[in-house]
Structure 1
C-alpha cells in the first residue's frame, strides 16, 4: 500500500462553554481526510491490528455500539479516520491522567471534511493530545514507528504545566458536585467559585477568607508558638538564636535532645531532629540558617509527625508520617540505596500529583547531617542488613483521621483559631494521636497556611478524605450555590433591545445589573464599553465582577458556534426567532434543522428552577419546550395561536398583546400589564432610537422574560413607562 497523505487539520476551535455538542468545553477540529475519504479502516491493510497493539485500552471504548469492544467492532467493519482520530485523542488523554469520555465526529456538506470534537478541560492540553494523536494515526496508517509512551509523556507534561493542581482540582470537583460554577482566573490555581456578588475565591487551599495577617503569623514559627502558648495550646519550649554558639547554649538550657529549624521555612526544609551533641547542634544551625531568616532551637518532642487539617474550625482529616530508612546490601552506596529503595516508590515525585517528595540525598543538608551522625556519607556502602536513617520528617502519608482523640481535635482547632486561619495544616508530634497530648508530652510544632491536600486525597495507606467537600461546605452554606440570576437572550430579531429592557427592569427591581449586548457593555445604567459585547470574553468579565448580582447576556448563533455560551447554566433563557442562517455558512450551518441544534443550547442550560421564554409564533421554538429542565413561558402577538392556547390549557404561563397592552396569562387567569403601544410611540419619537429595532413582539419578549424572573406585573408596567430609548448614555 502506498503512503497516505496526512489528514489536514483545517480549523481548531476551543468552545469554552456549553455548545451545540455538549454542556462542557470541547476542542472542535475541522478535518480534511483527503484521499483517506476513500480508505475506511477495513480497507487499510493491517491497520486495526497495529492501532490496537499500540493502544490496547481502545477495547474499553464503547463507541456507538454501547458495549465494551464497540469501537474495535467499528474498526473491523470499517469506519473513517476522523472517527479513529477522535478515539485516539481520547485515549491519549486518558493515559495522560485527564479522563475523557465524550467525543463526536460528524460529516459536513463538503466531501471528506469532518467536524471532530472531544471533551477538553484545558485547551493547551487538548491541543497537545490532538497533535500527538494526529501523528500516531498517520504513523499507524503508513506502518511507521511511533513511540506511544513518549507521546503520553508529552501530553502529561503539558497537563502538569497547564491544568489545576490536585488540591485545587479536588476543591473544584466538590464545587461541581454541588452545581457551583467555577472560573479559572489565571494560569495557576487561582479559581473563582460562583458568579458576581456571590462568588468566593480559592488559591489552592487558601480562600478569600484567609487573612493575610494570619498567614504572616503562621509564617513566623516563633510568633506562632508565643500566641499558642498564651492560649494554653501545648507547644515545645524554644528560643530564637543568632549564631551556632548561641544555639548550643540554648540547647543546654532547654535540655537535650533538641530540634534546630528555620523560623520561616516550610515543607520540613532545614529541620534537624533529636540533636544531642554540641557538634550536631552547631552543624544543624548552619543547615537551618540557609533555609530561613532566623533559627529556632526547641525541645525535642518524641513521637510521630502528624498533619491535621482544620477547615472552618473543624478537624476534617489527619495523616501520620513515617521515618525513611534504607537497608544496606553490602554493595550499594547510600545514594544508590536511596534511589533503589526510596525514590523508586511511585508515591514520590516532583509534581503535585505525588504525595511524597523525591529525596535529594546528595544535596539536602539535613539528610547529609543525619548520615554524618551515623558515621556515614552518601558514598558509604553500609554492610548488609544495616538500617540507615535517611529522613525523620516530611513523609506524612498514612491516613489516621479516625484515630484522632477529641482533645487533640480541640487543640488543633483552637490553634487555627488563635492564628486566625480558616484553613490550616497543623503539625502535631505525638506518640499516639489517639491520646490527649498532655498525658504523653505531645505538642503542636507548626501551623501552616495554604496546606497541601494531597496527603489526604491520596494517602499511601488508609482511606482518602473528602477534604475538597469540606472546603466547599465551609465557603458555601447548604442552600447556597454561588449563582446569581443570569438571563441569556438568543436569536436575531431585536435581541439587544430585549436585553436592555430586561436589564432596566432588573435594575428597577433592586439589582446591580451587568449587561453584555450589541450596544456595548453596561454596569447598571452606565455604558463602560461601546463596541459590541456579543462575545464570550465580554460576558465573562461580568460574571467575574463582584459588583453585579444579576447579568443579562445577548447571544447570537455565531457567538455560540465560535465560543460556546459564557455561562454553564442560566435562570432564564429567551429565544426570539429562527432567522439568520445566511450568516452562518462558515460554520456549515445551512438549514433550520442545523440552526435548531445551535440555538437549543440556550434552552438546554436553563436551570430546573428557571424558565425558557420562547416565541410561540415559531413552531421550531415551541418544539424546544421539551428540552427545558425548568418552566416554559410562551409569548406571541396573537392570543389565539394554537401553541399558546394549548400551553395555557395545561396551566402554563404566556404573554400576548391585547388592545395595545401586554397581557400576562397563567393558565386561564389574565392580568393586563404594560402599555406596549405607548413605549413604541416613545421610541418612534426618539431620534436616537433607530438602532433599537423595536416592535411589539420585541417588547412582549422582554415582558415575558421579566415575568419569568418573577418581577411583578406592576413593576414591569412602570419599567416600560420609564425606559429611555436614548443610547447615548
Structure 2
C-alpha cells in the first residue's frame, strides 16, 4: 500500500535530470522506495491478501475516527494522465468513487461502490482471474525475468547486478547490451549499447541500487496491454533517440498494431497476464515483426508494468483507439 505516497509528495524532486526529462526526478525516493519494497516483499508473499486488506481498512477507519483522514467525492478532472482516463470511465458508467484525504492532502487510496458495497483500493481492483501470488514482485525486472524464463516465455539473456564491478563484467560478456534500473518505468536512465560502461552503470545506479544488464535485441519496441487477462491493445513505440539514451516518455510516436498481431503472440501475452496477475498489465516486448509468431521470429518480453500508461492506446498517433479504461470497468461491472 502506497498510502503516504513518499515518492511524489514527501520527498522533493531532485534538480533537472537529462535522463528523466520531461519528468521531475526523485532519485533518492526511487532508491529508498526500491530497497523498502525489496525488503518487505517476503512479508507481502507471506501475508494473505484478504488479511492484508482487512488490516488496511481497519487502519483507515481508525484514522477517520481520529479525524485525521476523510473520504471525499472528487471529479475525474482533478487527476492527470491515466488516472484521469480511469476515473472518467468510471463516471461514464455511473460508478461512485471517493478519494481518501490525509491531513487534508489527497492520497492514492480510493473506495469504489460496486455490487452494493464499498471496496477500498490503492490503484486498481482485481478480479479472480487477475490475482496472482507473483503480483507483488511484478515491477521487479529481475524477479519477473527469472519467472518468465522458467515458464518458457522468451526474455533477453541477462540478469541483475548489485555492484558496479559485476555489472560492467556482465555488460562486456553480453555486448552489445542494455543497462537499466531493476525497478522503474518510462525508460528513464536506460542506457542502450553504451560505449562507456563506467558512466552507464553510474547513471543507472542514480535511480536504483540494483541494475539489470541484458543483451541488446534488434527490433522495434511494442507495448501490449491486457485487461483482466485479455489482450486489448498493442502499440508500436517509435522513440526520440538522443545519442546514448532513449526516452520513451519524451515525444514517442505511438502506432496501434493490434490487428496485425499474430494469434500465437496474443496467446503468449494472455498467458503472461494470467501467470503474473494484474487487472491492467503492460507488457513491453521487442520484435522485428509482430505479425509473425514468437517461435518463428525473435521476440523478447523486456518489461512488465502493473499500472501502465494506457493513454497511448486511447490516443495513438496512428491507428484505431483502444479503450483500456472502459474495458477495465466493464470487466468489474
Per-residue deviation, residues 531-579 of structure 1 (Å, max 9, x unmatched): xxxxxxxxxxxxxxxxxxxxxxxxxxxxxxxxxxxxxxxxxxxxxxxxx
Matched, 1:182 2:97: yes
Residue deviations 1:192-235 (CA, integer Å, cap 9, x gap): 3325754445555x225576964431121111000011111000
Q: How does 1:71-82 map to 2 (within 5 A)?
A: none
Contact 1:168/1:189 (<8 A) preserved: no
- Between the aligned partners of 2:172 and 2:296, the Cα distance in structure 1 is 25
CA contact (8 A) 2:236 2:257 kept: yes
Match for residue 206 of structure 2?
290
Look up the match of 1:218.
Answer: 138
Q: Judge conservation of contact 1:200–1:475 (CA < 8 Å) in 2.
A: no
How far the C-alpha of 1:427 sits from its partner, in A, is 0.6
Counterpart CA distance in 1 for 2:297 and 2:247 is 20
What is aligned with 1:164? 79
Given that 2:97 and 2:113 are in contact with CA atoms closer than 8 Å, whether structure 1 keeps it comes out as yes
CA RMSD between the two structures: 2.8
Asked if 1:460 corresponds to 2:330, the answer is no
Q: 1:469 aligns with which of 301, 320, 326?
A: 326
1:235 match: secondary structure: coil
| Aligned counterpart, 2:189 | 270
Output aligned runs, 1:341-490, within 5 Å: 370=243, 391=246, 393-394=248-249, 395=252, 397-476=254-333
Task: Map Cα deviations across residues 315-340 of structure 1 (whole Å, 9 max, x no partner).
Answer: 11112111315xxxxxxxxxxxxxxx
How far has the Cα of 1:295 moved from its partner?
1.0
Change (3 A) 1:265 1:170: closer
**Structure 1 CA distance for aligned equivalents of residues 149 and 315 of structure 2:** 33
2 CA distance for matches of 1:212 and 1:232?
18
Aligned mates of 1:203, 1:429 — CA distance in 2: 31
2:204, 2:80 → 1: CA distance? 29
1:283 is displaced (CA, Å) by 2.1
Q: Is the 8 A contact 1:313 1:417 kept in 2?
A: yes
Match of 1:207 among 116, 125, 134: 125
Counterpart of 2:236 in 1: which secondary structure? Answer: strand
Give 2:42's aligned residue.
none
Q: Which residue of structure 1 aligns with residue 171 of structure 2?
A: 251
Ranges in structure 2 where 5+ consecutive residues have no aligned partner: 1-72
**Secondary structure of 1:321's match?**
strand
Matched, 1:304 2:220: yes
Question: Could you tell me the TM-score, scaled by structure 2's length?
Answer: 0.67
Residue in 2 that maps onto 1:569: none
| Cα distance in 1 for residues equivalent to 2:108 and 2:314 | 17
d(CA) in 1 for partners of 2:286 and 2:277?
21
Name structure 1 gaps, 5 residues minimum.
1-120, 124-158, 326-366, 372-389, 477-729
Alpha-carbon distance in structure 1 between the residues aligned to 2:311 and 2:294: 26
Structure 1 length as normaliser, TM-score?
0.32
**Distance in 1 between the 2:78 and 2:318 partners?**
26
Shift in Å, 1:393: 4.0
Say if 2:191 and 2:246, in contact at 8 Å, map to a contact too. Answer: no
Q: Equivalences for 1:297-696 in 2 at 5 Å?
A: 297-325=213-241, 370=243, 391=246, 393-394=248-249, 395=252, 397-476=254-333
The answer as to whether partners of 2:126 and 2:278 remain within 8 angstroms in 1 is: no
Q: Equivalents in 1 of 2:157, 2:283: separation in Å?
A: 17
Mark the CA change 1:172 to 1:248 in structure 2 (over 3 Å): closer, same or farther.
closer
Residue 462 of structure 1 deviates from its aligned partner by: 2.2
> Is the Cα–Cα contact under 8 Å of residues 239 and 253 in structure 2 kept in the other structure?
no
What's the offset of the Cα at 1:249? 2.2
Whole-angstrom CA distance in 1 between matches of 2:257 and 2:157: 27
Question: Matches of 2:135 and 2:309 in 1, distance apart?
Answer: 15
Q: Shift of residue 421 of structure 1?
A: 2.0
Deviation at 1:465, TM superposition (A): 1.1
Task: Give the C-alpha shift of residue 237 in structure 1.
Answer: 0.9
Q: C-alpha separation between the residues in 2 aligned to 1:242 and 1:180?
A: 45
- Check whether the contact 1:311–1:424 (CA below 8 A) recurs between aligned residues: yes
State the secondary structure of the residue aligned to 2:153.
Answer: coil
Q: 1:253 to 1:425 in 2, by over 3 A?
A: same
Offset of residue 241 of structure 1: 2.2
Distance 1:292 1:216, change over 3 A: farther
- The Cα offsets for residues 375-418 of structure 1, whole Å up to 9 and x where unpaired, read as xxxxxxxxxxxxxxx63644362222222222222212222222
List per-residue Cα deviations over 1:262-312 (Å, max 9, x = no partner): 11122211211234xxx4333211111111120111111111111111111
How many residues matched? 253
2:193 aligns to what SS in structure 1? strand
**In the superposition, relative to structure 1, how do residues 396 and 418 fare at CA in structure 2: closer, same or farther (>3 Å)?**
farther
Task: Give me the whole-angstrom Cα distance separating, in 2, the residues matched to 1:427 and 1:244.
Answer: 26
Higher relative contact order (CA 8 A, sep 6+): 2
Counterpart-to-counterpart distance in 1, 2:199 and 2:210: 15
Is contact 1:458-1:464 (8 Å) kept?
yes
